[in-house]
Amino acid sequence: MPNAPADNYQSKVDKPDDFDAFWEGVLRQASAVALEPEMIPDPLRTSEDIETFQVFYTSIDHVRVAAWYCRPTRGARAPAIMLLPGYQMDPPIPKEWARKGYAALSVAPRGKLRSNRQFNPGYPNLLTHNVVDRHTYAYRGFYVDTWRGIDFLLSRPEIDPARIGVTGSSQGGGLTVTTAAMRPEVRAASAGAPYLCGFMDAVELTHTYPYEEINDYLRLHPERQAEVEDTLAYFDGISFADRITCPIIVNIGLQDNVCPPETGYALFERIAAADKRLYPYDGHGHDAGRARHTAVVDAFFARHLLGREVSR
Amino acid sequence: MSEPTPAAVRDYWQETLAALARYPARPELEPLPLRSTPFARLFGVRLTSLGPYRLFGYLSIPAGDGPFPAIYYAPKYQSVLEIIPQGTANLQRSRYVTFSLAGRGQRNADAPYAAMFPGLLTDGLDRAASYVFRSIVADSVRGLEFLLSRPEVDPARVVVAGNDLALMTAASTPGATHVVTTPALFYKTAALALKTQAYPLEEINDYLRAYPARAESVRSTLAHFDLLRFAPRVIAATLLMAGAPGSLLDGKALQPLAAALQGQVTVYESQQSLYKDGLYAERWMAAQCGIADVQQILPQHWRD
Provide the mean pLDDT of chain A: 97
Q: Is the pLDDT of residue A1 over 90?
A: no
Q: What is the nearest CA distance from A247 to chain B, expressed in angstroms?
A: 27
Q: Answer whether residue A21 is part of any domain.
A: no
B93 φψ region: left (φ > 0), alpha (ψ -120 to 50), beta (else) = alpha
- Give the other-Cβ count within 10 Å of B191's Cβ: 10
Q: Answer whether residue A166 is part of any domain.
A: yes
What are B56-102's pLDDT values in tens digits?
999 999 999 999 999 999 999 999 999 999 999 999 999 999 999 99
Residue A195: domain span: 34-304
- pTM of the predicted model, to two decimals? 0.97
Q: Answer whether residue B297 is part of any domain.
A: no
Q: Answer whether residue B302 is part of any domain.
A: no
Per the CB < 8 A criterion, the answer to whether B120 and B137 are in contact is no
Q: Answer whether residue B231 is part of any domain.
A: yes
The kind and range of the H/E element at A54 are strand A50-58
The kind and range of the H/E element at A159 are strand A159-169
How far is residue A278's CA from residue A249's CA, in Å, rounded to a whole number?
A: 6
- Give the other-Cβ count within 10 Å of B105's Cβ: 23
Structural domain tally of chain B? 1
Q: Answer whether residue B300 is part of any domain.
A: no
Per the CB < 8 A criterion, the answer to whether B153 and B70 are in contact is yes
Pairing of strands A50-58, B237-242: unpaired
Strand order across the beta sheet in which B265-269 lies: B28-31, B40-49, B53-62, B97-102, B68-73, B153-162, B178-181, B237-242, B265-269
Dihedral sign for Cα atoms in the order A252, A84, A247, A266: positive
Q: Answer whether residue A15 is part of any domain.
A: no
Per the CB < 8 A criterion, the answer to whether A27 and A146 are in contact is no
Q: What is the nearest CA distance from B92 to chain A, expressed in angstroms?
A: 10
Give me the pLDDT at residue B200, please: 97
Q: Which of B86, B113, B276, B283 to mutate to test the interface with A (most CBs of A within 10 A)?
A: B86
CATH at residue A57: 3.40.50.1820
Per the CB < 8 A criterion, the answer to whether A112 and A87 are in contact is no
Q: Answer whether residue B192 is part of any domain.
A: yes
Q: Answer whether residue A6 is part of any domain.
A: no
Pairing of strands B53-62, B40-49: antiparallel
- Confidence bin at B33 (pLDDT 50/70/90): very high
- pLDDT above 70 covers a percentage of chain B that reads 100
How far is residue A63's CA from residue A76's CA, in Å, rounded to a whole number?
A: 33
Which of B78, B206, B302 lies closest to A90 in CB terms? B78
How far is residue B248's CA from residue B271's CA, in Å, rounded to a whole number?
A: 14
Contacts of B78 (CB under 8 A, 6+ apart): A88, A89, A90, B106, B117
Which of B199, B244, B275 lies closest to A253 in CB terms? B275
Residue B263: domain span: 6-291
Q: Answer whether residue B96 is part of any domain.
A: yes
What are B154-210's pLDDT values in tens digits?
999 999 999 999 999 999 999 999 999 999 999 999 999 999 999 999 999 999 999
Q: Answer whether residue B264 is part of any domain.
A: yes
How far is residue A208's CA from residue A195's CA, in Å, rounded to a whole number?
A: 13
Q: Answer whether residue A289 is part of any domain.
A: yes
Contacts of A18 (CB under 8 A, 6+ apart): none
Q: Check CB contact of A99 with chain B, cutoff 8 Å.
A: yes
Mean pLDDT value across residues A67-87? 95
Q: Answer whether residue A29 is part of any domain.
A: no
Q: Answer whether residue B301 is part of any domain.
A: no
Q: Are the beta carbons of B206 and A287 separated by less than 8 Å? A: no
Q: Check CB contact of A31 with chain B, cutoff 8 Å.
A: no
Give me the pLDDT at residue A264, please: 98
Per the CB < 8 A criterion, the answer to whether A154 and A162 are in contact is no
CATH at residue B166: 3.40.50.1820
